[in-house]
């Protein structure tokens, strides 16, 4: 269960990034799998130089650049958001291989990672320290995002997601706001990838496979619990959803009934069930109203 908590808090960064694109911008951005791997690759290569903090900043910046590319494809070239994300994700495979000097994986064995630094500083066990690092990173990013989305630019980004036509009529650069929002979304995802690389001690070119489902599952599970409310509650629900998602996966895989390769199928089922919950609740409420109406008739 401690492992699920560690992963849940760490992947909360991914969940918040997905929340920004899917819920705040109302844009289906599929860049996540590529920008996550880019964060992993950049973080690993910088960490190889024993610069773990700089590695996380570089992963954040690299993810932001990936988001900018997707945003420009959407706004300046006029490519459909889904196709723009797929194109960027496809191109990033080659970019990620170039970052890793053509190698499909890179090990950080013996290198100074953020976790090894904290093991020496914090008076906790390694498992608790890993959870603390993930929790601190999640809370730090959460606080910064809550603050940012209350600033003028943040409010413009939110308005662009709610009603782009109205924003354009107000002489606000809606295209610029969309690019900025996608950059911020993928920056969070890249930062998550950078942290994951240091957590697991290696980078792999296939690290990003399935990350879109993981992020979306976290957002949907969080919304099933908290409902669709404001941005602040939405970001918090994404973190909670990420932790619950990892706990559900941990319970399913530790039951000895599902092999490890069932992970993707279990993830897909969890997302499908979470997406179906609002419809199930609505139908249940409808049938209950009909039943009460028949009784009163």
Could you state, in order of their start, the residue ranges of all structural domains in the chain? 2-296
| Cβ within 8 Å of residue 183, ≥6 positions away | 64, 65, 67, 68, 71
| Beta-ladder partners of 105 | 204
Say what the alpha-carbon torsion angle 202, 119, 249, 40 is, to the nearest 10 degrees. -30
Distances (CA, A) of 171 to 164, 175, 261: 11, 11, 51
Q: Which two tokens stand for residue 253?
A: 């895989």
Say what the alpha-carbon torsion angle 176, 180, 185, 187 is, to the nearest 10 degrees. 140
Residue 297 in this model has a pLDDT that exceeds 70 = no
- With beta carbons less than 8 A apart as the criterion, state whether 154 and 148 touch: yes
- Give per-residue pLDDT as tens, 126-148: 899 999 999 999 999 999 999 99
- With beta carbons less than 8 A apart as the criterion, state whether 211 and 227 touch: no
Q: Which two tokens stand for residue 249?
A: 């996966």
| Beta-ladder partners of 202 | 107
Confidence band (pLDDT; 50, 70, 90) for 290? confident
Residue 217 in this model has a pLDDT that exceeds 70 = yes
Angle of helix 174-200 relative to helix 32-47, nearest 10 degrees, comes to 50
Burial of 228 (0-12, 13-18, 19+ CB in 10 A): exposed
- Give percent above pLDDT 90 in the chain: 63
Q: Which CATH architecture has domain 2-296?
A: Orthogonal Bundle (1.10)
- Greater confidence, 254 or 99? 99
- Give per-residue pLDDT as tens, 7-64: 999 999 999 999 999 999 998 899 999 999 999 999 999 999 989 999 999 999 999 9
Query: What are φ and ψ of residue 240, in 5° steps?
Result: -60, -40
- With beta carbons less than 8 A apart as the criterion, state whether 215 and 241 touch: no
């Amino acid at each position: 269960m401690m492992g699920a908590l560690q992963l849940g808090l760490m992947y909360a960064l991914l969940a918040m990034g997905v929340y920004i694109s899917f819920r705040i911008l109302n844009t289906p951005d599929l860049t996540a799998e590529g920008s996550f791997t880019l964060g992993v690759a950049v973080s690993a290569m910088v960490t190889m130089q024993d610069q773990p903090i700089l590695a996380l900043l570089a992963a954040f910046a690299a993810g932001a650049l990936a988001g900018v590319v997707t945003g420009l494809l959407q706004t300046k070239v006029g490519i459909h958001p889904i196709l723009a994300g797929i194109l960027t994700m496809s191109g990033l495979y080659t970019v990620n291989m170039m970052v890793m000097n053509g190698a499909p994986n890179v090990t950080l064995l013996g290198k100074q990672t953020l976790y090894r630094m904290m093991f020496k500083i914090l008076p906790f066990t390694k498992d608790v320290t890993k959870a603390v690092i993930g929790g601190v990173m999640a809370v730090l990013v959460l606080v910064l995002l809550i603050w940012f989305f209350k600033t003028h630019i943040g409010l413009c980004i939110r308005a662009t997601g709610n009603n782009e036509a109205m924003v354009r009529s107000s002489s606000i650069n809606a295209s610029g706001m969309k690019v900025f929002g996608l950059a911020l979304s993928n920056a969070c995802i890249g930062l998550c990838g950078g942290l994951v690389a240091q957590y697991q001690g290696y980078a792999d070119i296939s690290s990003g496979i399935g990350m879109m489902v993981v992020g979306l599952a976290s957002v949907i599970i969080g919304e099933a619990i908290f409902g669709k409310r404001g941005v602040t509650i939405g970001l918090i629900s994404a973190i909670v959803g990420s932790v619950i998602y990892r706990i559900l996966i941990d319970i399913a895989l530790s039951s000895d009934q599902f092999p490890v390769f069932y992970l993707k199928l279990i993830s897909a089922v969890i997302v499908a069930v979470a997406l179906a919950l609002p419809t199930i609740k609505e139908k249940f409420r409808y049938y209950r109203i009909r039943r009460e109406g028949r009784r009163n008739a």
